[in-house]
Structure 1
Amino acid sequence: MNRDILKECKRVVIKIGTNSIMKSPTKVDYHKIDRLAFVCSSLQQQGKEVVLVSSGAVGVGASTLKMDKYPSAVAEQQALASVGQSALMNLYSRFFQHYEQYVGQILMTRDIINYPNSYANCNTSINSLLDKNIIPIINENDAVSVDESGHCTKFGENDTLAAVVAELVDADLLIIMSDVDGLYDSNPHTNPDAALISYVGEIDTDILSMAGGAGSIFSTGGMETKLKAAQKMMSINKSMMIISAENPNIIFDILNGEDVGTFFKKNEAELQIQGDE
Protein backbone atom coordinates (compact mmCIF):
# COMPACT_ATOMS: atom_id res chain seq x y z
CA MET A 1 0.00 0.00 0.00
CA ASN A 2 1.39 3.38 -1.05
CA ARG A 3 1.71 5.62 1.99
CA ASP A 4 1.82 8.87 0.05
CA ILE A 5 -1.85 9.36 0.90
CA LEU A 6 -0.75 10.02 4.49
CA LYS A 7 0.97 13.21 3.31
CA GLU A 8 -2.45 14.62 2.49
CA CYS A 9 -3.98 14.00 5.92
CA LYS A 10 -5.44 17.22 7.26
CA ARG A 11 -7.19 16.15 10.46
CA VAL A 12 -5.40 13.66 12.72
CA VAL A 13 -6.44 11.98 15.97
CA ILE A 14 -3.50 10.85 18.10
CA LYS A 15 -4.03 8.43 20.99
CA ILE A 16 -1.42 7.83 23.67
CA GLY A 17 -1.80 5.23 26.41
CA THR A 18 -1.01 5.09 30.08
CA ASN A 19 2.13 3.00 29.62
CA SER A 20 3.49 5.59 27.23
CA ILE A 21 3.25 8.57 29.56
CA MET A 22 4.37 6.73 32.69
CA LYS A 23 7.94 5.55 33.33
CA SER A 24 6.58 3.37 36.11
CA PRO A 25 3.37 3.24 38.16
CA THR A 26 4.73 6.06 40.34
CA LYS A 27 6.72 8.17 37.84
CA VAL A 28 5.42 10.35 35.03
CA ASP A 29 7.53 10.51 31.87
CA TYR A 30 7.84 14.30 31.58
CA HIS A 31 10.15 14.06 28.57
CA LYS A 32 7.56 12.02 26.66
CA ILE A 33 4.80 14.53 27.39
CA ASP A 34 7.09 17.38 26.33
CA ARG A 35 7.96 15.66 23.02
CA LEU A 36 4.30 14.92 22.36
CA ALA A 37 3.38 18.55 23.02
CA PHE A 38 6.14 19.65 20.63
CA VAL A 39 4.95 17.34 17.84
CA CYS A 40 1.26 18.23 18.18
CA SER A 41 2.05 21.95 18.35
CA SER A 42 4.31 21.73 15.31
CA LEU A 43 1.60 19.96 13.31
CA GLN A 44 -0.87 22.69 14.23
CA GLN A 45 1.62 25.30 13.05
CA GLN A 46 1.89 23.42 9.75
CA GLY A 47 -1.84 23.85 9.24
CA LYS A 48 -2.99 20.42 10.33
CA GLU A 49 -5.74 19.83 12.89
CA VAL A 50 -4.82 17.62 15.83
CA VAL A 51 -7.03 15.93 18.40
CA LEU A 52 -5.25 14.18 21.26
CA VAL A 53 -6.89 11.26 23.07
CA SER A 54 -4.91 10.63 26.23
CA SER A 55 -5.17 7.90 28.80
CA GLY A 56 -3.30 8.19 32.07
CA ALA A 57 -5.65 9.70 34.64
CA VAL A 58 -5.38 6.70 36.95
CA GLY A 59 -1.63 6.36 36.43
CA VAL A 60 -0.98 10.04 37.07
CA GLY A 61 -3.33 9.87 40.05
CA ALA A 62 -1.33 6.97 41.44
CA SER A 63 1.85 8.98 40.92
CA THR A 64 0.38 12.06 42.58
CA LEU A 65 -0.74 10.07 45.61
CA LYS A 66 2.49 8.00 45.70
CA MET A 67 0.64 4.71 45.24
CA ASP A 68 2.19 1.52 43.89
CA LYS A 69 -0.87 -0.72 44.00
CA TYR A 70 -3.96 -0.45 41.85
CA PRO A 71 -7.09 -0.11 44.05
CA SER A 72 -9.72 -2.81 43.55
CA ALA A 73 -12.80 -0.88 44.65
CA VAL A 74 -14.51 1.07 41.84
CA ALA A 75 -15.06 4.11 44.08
CA GLU A 76 -11.33 4.24 44.87
CA GLN A 77 -10.44 3.91 41.20
CA GLN A 78 -12.78 6.77 40.35
CA ALA A 79 -11.34 8.93 43.10
CA LEU A 80 -7.87 8.21 41.77
CA ALA A 81 -8.99 9.13 38.24
CA SER A 82 -10.47 12.39 39.52
CA VAL A 83 -7.18 13.42 41.14
CA GLY A 84 -5.15 12.19 38.20
CA GLN A 85 -7.22 13.87 35.47
CA SER A 86 -6.68 17.28 37.03
CA ALA A 87 -2.95 16.64 37.38
CA LEU A 88 -2.71 15.24 33.84
CA MET A 89 -4.36 18.28 32.26
CA ASN A 90 -2.15 20.56 34.32
CA LEU A 91 0.89 18.80 32.86
CA TYR A 92 -0.41 19.05 29.32
CA SER A 93 -1.32 22.71 29.71
CA ARG A 94 2.14 23.58 31.00
CA PHE A 95 4.04 21.70 28.28
CA PHE A 96 1.84 22.87 25.41
CA GLN A 97 2.05 26.49 26.56
CA HIS A 98 5.84 26.23 26.25
CA TYR A 99 5.18 25.91 22.49
CA GLU A 100 2.55 28.68 22.55
CA GLN A 101 -0.23 26.20 21.94
CA TYR A 102 -3.49 26.18 23.88
CA VAL A 103 -5.36 22.99 24.75
CA GLY A 104 -8.90 22.27 25.90
CA GLN A 105 -10.21 19.34 27.91
CA ILE A 106 -13.18 17.20 26.87
CA LEU A 107 -14.25 14.24 29.01
CA MET A 108 -16.57 11.74 27.34
CA THR A 109 -18.81 8.90 28.43
CA ARG A 110 -20.10 6.19 26.10
CA ASP A 111 -23.72 7.29 26.29
CA ILE A 112 -22.79 10.44 24.34
CA ILE A 113 -22.69 8.38 21.16
CA ASN A 114 -26.12 6.86 21.85
CA TYR A 115 -28.01 10.16 21.86
CA PRO A 116 -28.08 12.23 18.66
CA ASN A 117 -28.19 15.59 20.44
CA SER A 118 -25.28 14.71 22.72
CA TYR A 119 -23.32 13.34 19.77
CA ALA A 120 -23.92 16.51 17.76
CA ASN A 121 -23.02 18.74 20.71
CA CYS A 122 -19.77 16.85 21.25
CA ASN A 123 -18.93 17.24 17.57
CA THR A 124 -19.66 20.97 17.79
CA SER A 125 -17.47 21.36 20.89
CA ILE A 126 -14.49 19.65 19.30
CA ASN A 127 -14.84 21.52 16.03
CA SER A 128 -15.19 24.84 17.87
CA LEU A 129 -11.86 24.22 19.61
CA LEU A 130 -10.18 23.25 16.33
CA ASP A 131 -11.59 26.37 14.62
CA LYS A 132 -9.87 28.43 17.30
CA ASN A 133 -6.57 26.57 16.79
CA ILE A 134 -6.96 24.89 20.18
CA ILE A 135 -6.00 21.22 20.50
CA PRO A 136 -8.76 19.18 22.19
CA ILE A 137 -7.43 16.67 24.72
CA ILE A 138 -9.99 13.94 25.23
CA ASN A 139 -10.26 11.22 27.84
CA GLU A 140 -13.00 9.03 29.20
CA ASN A 141 -14.72 10.52 32.23
CA ASP A 142 -13.47 7.74 34.50
CA ALA A 143 -14.59 9.52 37.67
CA VAL A 144 -18.26 8.97 36.82
CA SER A 145 -18.39 6.27 34.12
CA VAL A 146 -20.24 3.09 35.05
CA ASP A 147 -20.86 -0.25 33.36
CA GLU A 148 -24.13 -1.78 34.47
CA SER A 149 -27.23 -3.27 32.95
CA GLY A 150 -29.36 -0.62 31.26
CA HIS A 151 -26.87 2.15 31.92
CA CYS A 152 -23.48 1.65 30.28
CA THR A 153 -21.41 4.82 30.12
CA LYS A 154 -17.93 3.25 29.99
CA PHE A 155 -15.78 2.90 26.90
CA GLY A 156 -13.52 0.71 29.05
CA GLU A 157 -10.33 1.65 27.19
CA ASN A 158 -9.24 4.55 25.05
CA ASP A 159 -8.46 2.69 21.82
CA THR A 160 -12.20 2.39 21.29
CA LEU A 161 -12.71 5.99 22.41
CA ALA A 162 -10.07 7.18 19.94
CA ALA A 163 -11.81 5.41 17.04
CA VAL A 164 -15.16 6.88 18.12
CA VAL A 165 -13.62 10.35 18.24
CA ALA A 166 -11.94 9.88 14.85
CA GLU A 167 -15.31 8.97 13.30
CA LEU A 168 -17.08 11.76 15.19
CA VAL A 169 -14.79 14.48 13.79
CA ASP A 170 -14.30 12.81 10.38
CA ALA A 171 -10.54 12.52 10.89
CA ASP A 172 -8.37 11.41 7.99
CA LEU A 173 -6.08 9.37 10.20
CA LEU A 174 -6.00 7.78 13.65
CA ILE A 175 -2.55 7.23 15.15
CA ILE A 176 -2.40 4.88 18.15
CA MET A 177 0.85 5.14 20.09
CA SER A 178 1.78 1.94 21.89
CA ASP A 179 4.61 0.21 23.74
CA VAL A 180 5.46 -1.76 20.58
CA ASP A 181 6.42 -0.59 17.07
CA GLY A 182 3.22 -1.94 15.53
CA LEU A 183 1.46 -5.23 14.94
CA TYR A 184 3.78 -8.25 15.02
CA ASP A 185 3.12 -11.79 13.87
CA SER A 186 3.89 -12.92 17.43
CA ASN A 187 4.66 -11.29 20.78
CA PRO A 188 7.88 -9.26 20.34
CA HIS A 189 8.35 -9.14 24.13
CA THR A 190 8.79 -12.91 24.28
CA ASN A 191 9.83 -13.87 20.74
CA PRO A 192 13.00 -12.20 19.39
CA ASP A 193 12.14 -13.47 15.90
CA ALA A 194 8.76 -11.74 15.81
CA ALA A 195 8.26 -9.82 12.54
CA LEU A 196 6.60 -6.43 12.21
CA ILE A 197 3.64 -6.34 9.83
CA SER A 198 3.93 -3.16 7.76
CA TYR A 199 0.49 -3.11 6.17
CA VAL A 200 -2.92 -4.61 6.94
CA GLY A 201 -5.64 -4.32 4.30
CA GLU A 202 -8.17 -6.58 6.00
CA ILE A 203 -8.61 -7.72 9.57
CA ASP A 204 -9.36 -11.42 9.37
CA THR A 205 -9.07 -14.26 11.87
CA ASP A 206 -5.34 -14.61 11.22
CA ILE A 207 -4.74 -10.95 12.09
CA LEU A 208 -6.99 -11.12 15.15
CA SER A 209 -5.10 -14.17 16.40
CA MET A 210 -1.98 -12.02 16.72
CA ALA A 211 -3.56 -9.81 19.41
CA GLY A 212 -2.09 -9.91 22.91
CA GLY A 213 -3.19 -8.78 26.35
CA ALA A 214 -2.96 -5.52 28.26
CA GLY A 215 0.47 -4.19 29.11
CA SER A 216 0.37 -3.29 32.80
CA ILE A 217 -1.75 -2.95 35.89
CA PHE A 218 -2.47 0.67 35.01
CA SER A 219 -3.33 -0.10 31.36
CA THR A 220 -6.68 -1.46 30.19
CA GLY A 221 -5.99 -1.82 26.47
CA GLY A 222 -4.05 -4.38 24.47
CA MET A 223 -3.49 -5.21 20.80
CA GLU A 224 -6.99 -6.68 20.55
CA THR A 225 -8.61 -3.32 21.30
CA LYS A 226 -6.30 -1.63 18.79
CA LEU A 227 -7.33 -4.06 16.08
CA LYS A 228 -10.98 -3.40 16.86
CA ALA A 229 -10.25 0.32 16.51
CA ALA A 230 -8.61 -0.43 13.16
CA GLN A 231 -11.71 -2.37 12.08
CA LYS A 232 -13.86 0.64 12.86
CA MET A 233 -11.60 3.01 10.93
CA MET A 234 -11.39 0.69 7.93
CA SER A 235 -15.17 0.25 7.90
CA ILE A 236 -15.51 3.97 7.18
CA ASN A 237 -12.61 3.90 4.70
CA LYS A 238 -10.23 5.83 6.95
CA SER A 239 -6.61 5.10 7.83
CA MET A 240 -5.02 4.03 11.12
CA MET A 241 -1.47 3.57 12.32
CA ILE A 242 -0.01 1.71 15.28
CA ILE A 243 3.41 3.04 16.22
CA SER A 244 5.81 3.04 19.13
CA ALA A 245 5.39 5.89 21.60
CA GLU A 246 9.10 5.80 22.43
CA ASN A 247 9.80 8.84 20.24
CA PRO A 248 6.75 10.96 19.33
CA ASN A 249 8.78 12.56 16.51
CA ILE A 250 7.97 9.44 14.49
CA ILE A 251 4.60 11.06 13.80
CA PHE A 252 6.39 13.43 11.43
CA ASP A 253 7.72 10.38 9.55
CA ILE A 254 4.21 8.94 9.25
CA LEU A 255 2.85 12.13 7.72
CA ASN A 256 5.79 12.17 5.32
CA GLY A 257 4.70 8.76 4.04
CA GLU A 258 7.63 6.83 5.47
CA ASP A 259 7.44 3.10 6.20
CA VAL A 260 7.15 3.00 9.98
CA GLY A 261 4.73 1.16 12.26
CA THR A 262 1.73 -0.77 10.98
CA PHE A 263 -0.53 0.93 8.45
CA PHE A 264 -4.21 -0.08 8.36
CA LYS A 265 -6.18 0.85 5.26
CA LYS A 266 -8.83 -1.13 3.41
CA ASN A 267 -7.17 -2.61 0.34
CA GLU A 268 -8.01 -1.14 -3.04
CA ALA A 269 -9.27 -4.45 -4.46
CA GLU A 270 -11.96 -4.71 -1.78
CA LEU A 271 -12.95 -1.09 -2.32
CA GLN A 272 -13.31 -1.79 -6.06
CA ILE A 273 -15.56 -4.79 -5.39
CA GLN A 274 -17.77 -2.72 -3.11
CA GLY A 275 -17.96 0.03 -5.72
CA ASP A 276 -19.12 -2.43 -8.38
CA GLU A 277 -21.94 -3.81 -6.26
Structure 2
Amino acid sequence: MSEKRQLDDVKRVVVKVGTSTLIHANGQINLHALDQLCFVLSGLVNEGKQVVLVSSGAIGVGMGQVGLSTRPDEIPAQQALASIGQGLLMTIYQQRFSTYGQKISQVLLTHDVLDYPTSKQNVFNTLDTLLKWGVIPIINENDTIAVDELDHHTKFGDNDQLSAIVADIVDADLLIMLSDIDGFFNKNPQKHKDAKLIAEINKIDADVVKKAGGKGSKFGTGGMMTKLKAAKRILKHDRMMVLANGADPAVIFKIMHGDKIGTLFRKK
Protein backbone atom coordinates (compact mmCIF):
# COMPACT_ATOMS: atom_id res chain seq x y z
CA MET A 1 0.00 0.00 0.00
CA SER A 2 1.39 3.39 -1.01
CA GLU A 3 2.30 5.94 1.62
CA LYS A 4 -0.52 8.31 2.47
CA ARG A 5 -0.38 12.09 2.33
CA GLN A 6 -0.23 13.74 5.71
CA LEU A 7 -3.38 15.86 5.81
CA ASP A 8 -4.36 15.11 9.40
CA ASP A 9 -3.77 18.70 10.47
CA VAL A 10 -6.18 20.14 7.89
CA LYS A 11 -8.93 21.88 9.81
CA ARG A 12 -10.43 24.41 7.38
CA VAL A 13 -11.01 23.32 3.78
CA VAL A 14 -12.44 24.99 0.67
CA VAL A 15 -14.05 22.67 -1.89
CA LYS A 16 -14.61 23.94 -5.43
CA VAL A 17 -16.94 22.06 -7.78
CA GLY A 18 -17.21 22.82 -11.48
CA THR A 19 -20.25 22.78 -13.68
CA SER A 20 -19.11 19.46 -15.17
CA THR A 21 -19.63 17.82 -11.77
CA LEU A 22 -23.11 19.24 -11.22
CA ILE A 23 -24.64 19.25 -14.71
CA HIS A 24 -25.15 16.33 -17.10
CA ALA A 25 -24.12 16.68 -20.74
CA ASN A 26 -27.82 17.02 -21.59
CA GLY A 27 -28.09 20.13 -19.41
CA GLN A 28 -30.00 18.52 -16.55
CA ILE A 29 -28.83 18.64 -12.93
CA ASN A 30 -26.73 15.65 -11.85
CA LEU A 31 -28.76 14.91 -8.72
CA HIS A 32 -26.65 11.89 -7.77
CA ALA A 33 -23.39 13.87 -7.81
CA LEU A 34 -24.98 16.78 -5.98
CA ASP A 35 -26.41 14.47 -3.31
CA GLN A 36 -23.03 12.77 -2.89
CA LEU A 37 -21.37 16.16 -2.53
CA CYS A 38 -23.79 17.21 0.21
CA PHE A 39 -23.34 13.85 1.98
CA VAL A 40 -19.54 14.07 1.96
CA LEU A 41 -19.30 17.70 3.05
CA SER A 42 -21.79 17.09 5.86
CA GLY A 43 -19.66 14.14 6.90
CA LEU A 44 -16.55 16.33 7.05
CA VAL A 45 -18.33 18.80 9.33
CA ASN A 46 -19.32 15.87 11.54
CA GLU A 47 -15.62 14.96 11.71
CA GLY A 48 -14.88 18.44 13.08
CA LYS A 49 -13.74 20.08 9.82
CA GLN A 50 -14.78 23.57 8.75
CA VAL A 51 -15.94 23.54 5.12
CA VAL A 52 -16.55 26.21 2.49
CA LEU A 53 -18.11 25.23 -0.84
CA VAL A 54 -17.40 27.28 -3.96
CA SER A 55 -20.02 26.11 -6.44
CA SER A 56 -20.33 26.75 -10.13
CA GLY A 57 -23.42 25.71 -12.05
CA ALA A 58 -25.88 28.60 -11.85
CA ILE A 59 -25.76 29.40 -15.57
CA GLY A 60 -25.83 25.69 -16.46
CA VAL A 61 -28.90 25.11 -14.29
CA GLY A 62 -30.54 28.18 -15.84
CA MET A 63 -29.87 26.84 -19.33
CA GLY A 64 -31.58 23.58 -18.41
CA GLN A 65 -34.60 25.47 -17.09
CA VAL A 66 -35.18 27.45 -20.28
CA GLY A 67 -34.19 24.64 -22.64
CA LEU A 68 -30.94 26.03 -24.02
CA SER A 69 -28.28 23.56 -25.15
CA THR A 70 -25.63 26.16 -25.98
CA ARG A 71 -24.38 28.85 -23.61
CA PRO A 72 -25.21 32.27 -25.12
CA ASP A 73 -22.43 34.76 -25.80
CA GLU A 74 -24.51 37.80 -24.83
CA ILE A 75 -23.77 39.11 -21.32
CA PRO A 76 -27.41 40.00 -20.50
CA ALA A 77 -28.51 36.46 -21.42
CA GLN A 78 -25.79 34.93 -19.22
CA GLN A 79 -26.83 37.19 -16.35
CA ALA A 80 -30.48 36.23 -16.78
CA LEU A 81 -29.59 32.52 -16.82
CA ALA A 82 -27.50 32.93 -13.67
CA SER A 83 -30.45 34.64 -11.99
CA ILE A 84 -32.74 31.73 -12.89
CA GLY A 85 -30.24 29.02 -12.03
CA GLN A 86 -28.80 30.33 -8.76
CA GLY A 87 -32.11 30.21 -6.92
CA LEU A 88 -32.89 26.68 -8.07
CA LEU A 89 -29.36 25.49 -7.34
CA MET A 90 -29.56 26.80 -3.78
CA THR A 91 -33.01 25.25 -3.31
CA ILE A 92 -31.63 21.84 -4.25
CA TYR A 93 -28.58 22.33 -2.01
CA GLN A 94 -30.91 23.27 0.87
CA GLN A 95 -33.03 20.16 0.32
CA ARG A 96 -30.11 17.76 0.12
CA PHE A 97 -28.03 19.23 2.94
CA SER A 98 -31.07 19.25 5.23
CA THR A 99 -31.38 15.49 4.67
CA TYR A 100 -28.04 15.16 6.49
CA GLY A 101 -28.88 17.74 9.14
CA GLN A 102 -26.37 20.25 7.76
CA LYS A 103 -26.98 24.01 7.83
CA ILE A 104 -25.83 26.09 4.87
CA SER A 105 -25.73 29.73 3.79
CA GLN A 106 -25.32 31.59 0.51
CA VAL A 107 -22.62 34.18 -0.19
CA LEU A 108 -22.42 35.89 -3.60
CA LEU A 109 -19.24 37.87 -4.26
CA THR A 110 -17.83 40.31 -6.80
CA HIS A 111 -14.17 41.22 -7.09
CA ASP A 112 -14.64 44.86 -6.15
CA VAL A 113 -15.98 43.84 -2.74
CA LEU A 114 -12.58 42.35 -1.94
CA ASP A 115 -10.66 45.36 -3.26
CA TYR A 116 -11.71 47.44 -0.26
CA PRO A 117 -10.26 46.54 3.16
CA THR A 118 -13.47 47.24 5.08
CA SER A 119 -15.76 45.16 2.87
CA LYS A 120 -13.12 42.40 2.64
CA GLN A 121 -12.94 42.29 6.43
CA ASN A 122 -16.72 42.09 6.55
CA VAL A 123 -16.63 39.08 4.22
CA PHE A 124 -14.04 37.39 6.46
CA ASN A 125 -16.06 38.13 9.60
CA THR A 126 -19.19 36.64 8.06
CA LEU A 127 -17.48 33.50 6.74
CA ASP A 128 -15.46 32.99 9.92
CA THR A 129 -18.60 33.21 12.06
CA LEU A 130 -20.49 30.79 9.83
CA LEU A 131 -17.65 28.27 9.97
CA LYS A 132 -17.40 28.52 13.75
CA TRP A 133 -21.14 27.84 13.90
CA GLY A 134 -20.69 24.68 11.82
CA VAL A 135 -22.48 26.17 8.81
CA ILE A 136 -21.24 25.50 5.27
CA PRO A 137 -21.14 28.75 3.26
CA ILE A 138 -21.91 28.15 -0.42
CA ILE A 139 -20.08 30.78 -2.46
CA ASN A 140 -20.48 31.77 -6.08
CA GLU A 141 -19.64 34.79 -8.14
CA ASN A 142 -22.59 37.16 -8.42
CA ASP A 143 -22.93 36.59 -12.15
CA THR A 144 -26.02 38.76 -12.46
CA ILE A 145 -23.93 41.91 -11.92
CA ALA A 146 -20.29 40.85 -12.37
CA VAL A 147 -19.06 41.71 -15.87
CA ASP A 148 -15.54 42.46 -17.01
CA GLU A 149 -16.75 45.08 -19.50
CA LEU A 150 -17.55 47.50 -16.68
CA ASP A 151 -15.11 50.34 -15.95
CA HIS A 152 -14.63 49.06 -12.40
CA HIS A 153 -13.25 45.55 -12.10
CA THR A 154 -15.95 43.31 -10.64
CA LYS A 155 -15.28 39.90 -12.15
CA PHE A 156 -12.99 37.20 -10.73
CA GLY A 157 -12.68 35.59 -14.15
CA ASP A 158 -13.73 32.09 -13.10
CA ASN A 159 -14.49 30.09 -9.99
CA ASP A 160 -11.01 28.54 -9.99
CA GLN A 161 -9.63 31.97 -9.11
CA LEU A 162 -12.51 32.67 -6.75
CA SER A 163 -11.87 29.47 -4.81
CA ALA A 164 -8.18 30.35 -4.33
CA ILE A 165 -9.12 33.87 -3.20
CA VAL A 166 -11.68 32.45 -0.77
CA ALA A 167 -9.03 30.08 0.60
CA ASP A 168 -6.93 33.17 1.36
CA ILE A 169 -9.80 35.08 2.94
CA VAL A 170 -10.78 32.31 5.35
CA ASP A 171 -7.17 31.20 5.96
CA ALA A 172 -7.93 27.67 4.74
CA ASP A 173 -5.42 24.85 5.08
CA LEU A 174 -6.49 23.09 1.88
CA LEU A 175 -8.32 23.78 -1.38
CA ILE A 176 -9.86 20.74 -3.08
CA MET A 177 -10.60 21.58 -6.71
CA LEU A 178 -12.91 19.07 -8.39
CA SER A 179 -13.06 19.13 -12.17
CA ASP A 180 -13.52 16.82 -15.15
CA ILE A 181 -9.84 15.84 -15.17
CA ASP A 182 -7.94 13.41 -12.96
CA GLY A 183 -5.21 15.89 -12.04
CA PHE A 184 -2.19 17.52 -13.66
CA PHE A 185 -0.39 15.48 -16.34
CA ASN A 186 3.04 15.74 -17.91
CA LYS A 187 1.30 16.27 -21.27
CA ASN A 188 -2.22 16.68 -22.57
CA PRO A 189 -3.98 13.36 -21.81
CA GLN A 190 -6.64 14.15 -24.40
CA LYS A 191 -4.00 13.99 -27.12
CA HIS A 192 -1.36 11.64 -25.69
CA LYS A 193 -2.24 8.16 -24.44
CA ASP A 194 1.11 7.89 -22.64
CA ALA A 195 0.43 11.01 -20.52
CA LYS A 196 1.31 10.44 -16.86
CA LEU A 197 -0.34 11.97 -13.83
CA ILE A 198 2.01 14.06 -11.67
CA ALA A 199 1.27 13.24 -8.03
CA GLU A 200 2.80 16.38 -6.50
CA ILE A 201 3.92 19.82 -7.69
CA ASN A 202 5.89 22.14 -5.44
CA LYS A 203 6.19 25.25 -7.62
CA ILE A 204 4.63 26.71 -10.74
CA ASP A 205 7.52 27.39 -13.10
CA ALA A 206 7.96 27.60 -16.87
CA ASP A 207 8.28 23.83 -17.17
CA VAL A 208 4.94 23.25 -15.42
CA VAL A 209 3.24 25.88 -17.59
CA LYS A 210 4.70 24.19 -20.68
CA LYS A 211 3.29 20.84 -19.55
CA ALA A 212 -0.12 22.46 -19.25
CA GLY A 213 0.06 23.27 -22.93
CA GLY A 214 0.95 26.93 -22.65
CA LYS A 215 -1.34 29.87 -23.15
CA GLY A 216 -1.64 29.32 -26.88
CA SER A 217 -3.17 25.86 -26.85
CA LYS A 218 -6.75 24.78 -26.50
CA PHE A 219 -5.75 22.62 -23.54
CA GLY A 220 -4.14 25.56 -21.78
CA THR A 221 -6.92 28.04 -22.32
CA GLY A 222 -9.64 25.45 -21.77
CA GLY A 223 -9.21 25.32 -18.03
CA MET A 224 -5.79 24.04 -16.95
CA MET A 225 -4.11 27.46 -17.01
CA THR A 226 -6.76 28.88 -14.69
CA LYS A 227 -6.14 26.00 -12.32
CA LEU A 228 -2.40 26.65 -12.38
CA LYS A 229 -3.06 30.31 -11.67
CA ALA A 230 -5.14 29.31 -8.67
CA ALA A 231 -2.44 26.85 -7.55
CA LYS A 232 0.18 29.59 -7.83
CA ARG A 233 -1.83 31.76 -5.42
CA ILE A 234 -2.24 28.81 -3.07
CA LEU A 235 1.50 28.08 -3.02
CA LYS A 236 2.36 31.77 -2.59
CA HIS A 237 0.39 31.81 0.65
CA ASP A 238 1.84 28.45 1.78
CA ARG A 239 -1.42 26.53 1.53
CA MET A 240 -2.19 23.22 -0.18
CA MET A 241 -4.40 22.37 -3.14
CA VAL A 242 -5.53 19.04 -4.59
CA LEU A 243 -6.78 18.90 -8.18
CA ALA A 244 -8.89 15.79 -8.80
CA ASN A 245 -11.76 14.38 -10.83
CA GLY A 246 -15.15 15.26 -9.35
CA ALA A 247 -17.24 12.69 -11.22
CA ASP A 248 -17.78 10.99 -7.85
CA PRO A 249 -17.64 13.62 -5.07
CA ALA A 250 -17.05 10.84 -2.54
CA VAL A 251 -13.42 11.16 -3.64
CA ILE A 252 -13.25 14.08 -1.17
CA PHE A 253 -13.33 11.61 1.73
CA LYS A 254 -10.38 9.73 0.26
CA ILE A 255 -8.43 12.94 -0.33
CA MET A 256 -9.02 14.14 3.21
CA HIS A 257 -7.96 10.77 4.60
CA GLY A 258 -4.64 10.99 2.77
CA ASP A 259 -5.13 8.80 -0.29
CA LYS A 260 -2.88 9.85 -3.17
CA ILE A 261 -5.59 10.95 -5.57
CA GLY A 262 -5.16 13.67 -8.17
CA THR A 263 -2.32 16.18 -7.96
CA LEU A 264 -1.23 17.81 -4.72
CA PHE A 265 0.19 21.32 -4.93
CA ARG A 266 2.27 22.31 -1.89
CA LYS A 267 5.61 23.82 -1.03
CA LYS A 268 8.36 21.46 0.05
| 1:275 alignment counterpart | none
Shift of 1:149: 5.8
| Preserved CA contact (<8 Å) 2:5 2:260 | no
SS at match of 2:163: helix
CA distance in 1 between partners of 2:79 and 2:150 (Å): 19
Provide the aligned length of Structure 1 versus Structure 2: 262
- Give the Cα–Cα distance (whole angstroms) in 1 for the partners of residues 200 and 130 of structure 2: 33
Give the whole-Å Cα distance in 1 for the aligned partners of 2:60 and 2:249: 20
1:1-277 correspondence to structure 2 within 5 Å: 4-148=5-149, 150-211=151-212, 222-267=223-268
Where 1:208 maps in the other structure, the secondary structure is helix
Q: How far off its partner does 1:211 sit?
A: 2.4
Q: Secondary structure at the match of 1:24?
A: coil
CA–CA separation in structure 1 for the residues paired with 2:8 and 2:262: 15
| Alignment CA distance shift 1:80-1:152 (3 Å) | same
What CA distance in whole angstroms lies between the structure 2 residues aligned with 1:140 and 1:33? 19
Q: Contact 1:159/1:221 (CA < 8 Å) preserved in 2?
A: no
2:8 & 2:204 partners in 1: Cα distance?
A: 24
- 5+ residue gaps, structure 2, are none
For 1:137 and 1:145, the matched residues in 2 are separated by 18
- On the 8 A contact 2:242/2:265 being kept in 1, the answer is yes
Q: Is this contact kept in 2: 1:155–1:161, CA < 8 A?
A: yes
Aligned residues of 1:7 and 1:256 also touching (Cα < 8 A): yes
Letter matched to residue 46 of structure 1: E
* Percent of pairs with identical residues: 45
Report the alpha carbon displacement of residue 186 of structure 1 after superposing the two structures with TM: 1.5
Residues 204-226 of structure 1, C-alpha deviations (whole Å, 9 max, x = no match): 111112225779xxxx9601111
For residues 242 and 51 of structure 1, do their structure 2 counterparts lie closer, same or farther at Cα, with a shift above 3 Å needed? Answer: same
Provide closer, same or farther for how the CA distance between residues 214 and 15 of structure 1 changes in structure 2, counting only shifts above 3 A: farther
Residues 183, 263 of structure 2: 8 Å contact kept: yes
AA in 2 matched with 1:167: D
**1:66-119 CA distances to partner (integer Å, 9 max, x unpaired)?**
111211211111001100111111111111111111110000000112100110
TM-score by length of 1: 0.91
C-alpha distance in 2 between matches for 1:91 and 1:136? 15
CA distance in 1, matches of 2:222, 2:51: 22
Structure 2 distance, partners of 1:221, 1:96, is: 31
Inter-partner Cα distance in structure 2 for 1:227 and 1:84? 28
Q: Distance in 2 between matches of 1:240 and 1:221?
A: 20
| Residue identity matched to 1:71 | P
Q: Distance in 1 between matches of 2:69 and 2:181?
A: 24
Distance in 1 between residues matched to 2:35 and 2:192, nearest whole Å: 32
Q: Deviations over 1:158-217 (max 9, x none)?
A: 0000000000000000010010110011222232211000000111111112225779xx
Contact 1:157/1:221 (<8 A) preserved:
no
TM-score normalised to the size of structure 2?
0.93
Instruction: Name the amino acid aligned to 1:193.
Output: D
The CA RMSD over aligned residues, in Å, is 1.7
Letter in 2 for 1:43: L
- Pick closer, same or farther for the CA change 1:66–1:214 going to 2, 3 Å: farther
Question: Matched residues in 2 for 1:90 and 1:263: separation?
Answer: 33
State the distance in 2 between where 1:211 and 1:191 align. 13
1:147, distance to aligned residue in structure 2 (A): 1.3
- 1-side partners of 2:192 and 2:21: how far apart? 21
Structure 2 distance, partners of 1:167, 1:221, is 25
With over 3 angstroms needed to count, the CA separation of the structure-2 counterparts of 1:14 and 1:145, relative to structure 1, is: same
Mark the CA change 1:149 to 1:95 in structure 2 (over 3 Å): closer, same or farther. Answer: closer
Cα distance per residue 1:249-275 (max 9 Å; x no partner): 1111112222111000012xxxxxxxx
Asked if 2 retains the 8 angstrom alpha-carbon contact of 1:147 and 1:154, the reply is: yes
Q: Matches of 1:254 and 1:63 in 2, distance apart?
A: 31
CA distance in 1 between counterparts of 2:205 and 2:4 reads 22
Amino acid at match of 2:265: F
